[in-house]
């Protein structure tokens, strides 16, 4: 399943995997949350936990990964520093960006992010157009 993550004027297509955590995220879409951009990615705290098992936890990320960190219910979209990411453990990969990562590198500071399900053609699904959203404020760290 595809989703689009929107950060102000930047729209990022993401292909979700079939993990229980990714499928559970789909059930909460469309979703709004505050995300903070850093030099390696954008992260925000989800207002809910995603199901996962210990076998899904791993260290680090690949540039372009959408990851969930159960310790704190963090959602992060990473665009850089893959080579040094192994020091960050407890990650569950939900999917991967299918477009260029370059526009993400300009996202510093806080952003009102929106995540919507998209169809095979990249068009937002009916649930995204209905305007049902969850809003949360995330701490500045991630």
Q: CATH number for the domain including 84? A: 2.40.100.20
**pLDDT tens for each residue of 42-75:** 999 999 999 998 999 999 999 999 999 999 999 9
Instruction: Please name the residue ranges forming H helices in 5-139.
Output: 20-27, 126-129
Asked whether residue 63 is domain-assigned, the answer is yes
Q: Please determine, for residue 113, whether its predicted confidence score (pLDDT) is greater than 50.
A: yes
**Is residue 141 in some structural domain?**
no
User: 48 is in which domain, residue-wise?
Assistant: 2-129
β-strands 92-97, 10-16 pairing? antiparallel
The rounded distance, in Å, linking the Cα atoms of 127 and 118 is 10
Give the single-character DSSP code of 112.
E
CB 26 within 8 A of CB 13: no
Instruction: Please say if the pLDDT value at position 124 is more than 90.
Output: no
Is 139 part of any domain? no
Query: For the ranges 20-24, 61-65, 72-76, 117-121, which has the lowest average pLDDT?
Result: 117-121
Contact 77, 12 (CB under 8 A): yes
Do you find a cis peptide bond into 30, omega within 30 degrees of 0? yes
Domains contained in the chain, number: 1
Per the prediction, the chain carries an average pLDDT of 85
Tokens representing 126 are 């009916």
Compute the radius of gyration of the chain from its Cα atoms. Answer: 14
Pairing of strands 74-78, 109-118: unpaired
| Residue 135 located in a structural domain | no
Q: Which residue has the higher pLDDT, 48 or 37?
A: 48
Determine the pLDDT at residue 119.
Answer: 65
Mean pLDDT of 78-95: 96
């Amino acid at each position: 399943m595809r989703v689009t993550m929107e950060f102000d004027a930047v729209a990022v297509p993401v292909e979700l995997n079939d993990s229980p955590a990714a499928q559970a995220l789909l059930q909460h879409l469309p979703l709004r949350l505050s995300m903070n951009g850093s030099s390696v990615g954008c992260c925000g705290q989800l207002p809910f936990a995603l199901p996962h098992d210990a076998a899904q936890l791993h260290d680090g990320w690949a540039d372009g990964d959408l990851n969930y960190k159960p310790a704190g219910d963090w959602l992060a979209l990473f665009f850089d520093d893959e080579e040094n990411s192994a020091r960050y453990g407890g990650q569950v990969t939900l999917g991967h960006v299918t477009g260029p990562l370059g526009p993400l590198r300009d996202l510093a500071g806080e952003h009102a992010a929106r995540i919507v399900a998209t169809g095979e053609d990249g068009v937002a699904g009916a649930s995204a157009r209905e305007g049902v959203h969850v809003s949360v404020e995330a701490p500045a760290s991630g």
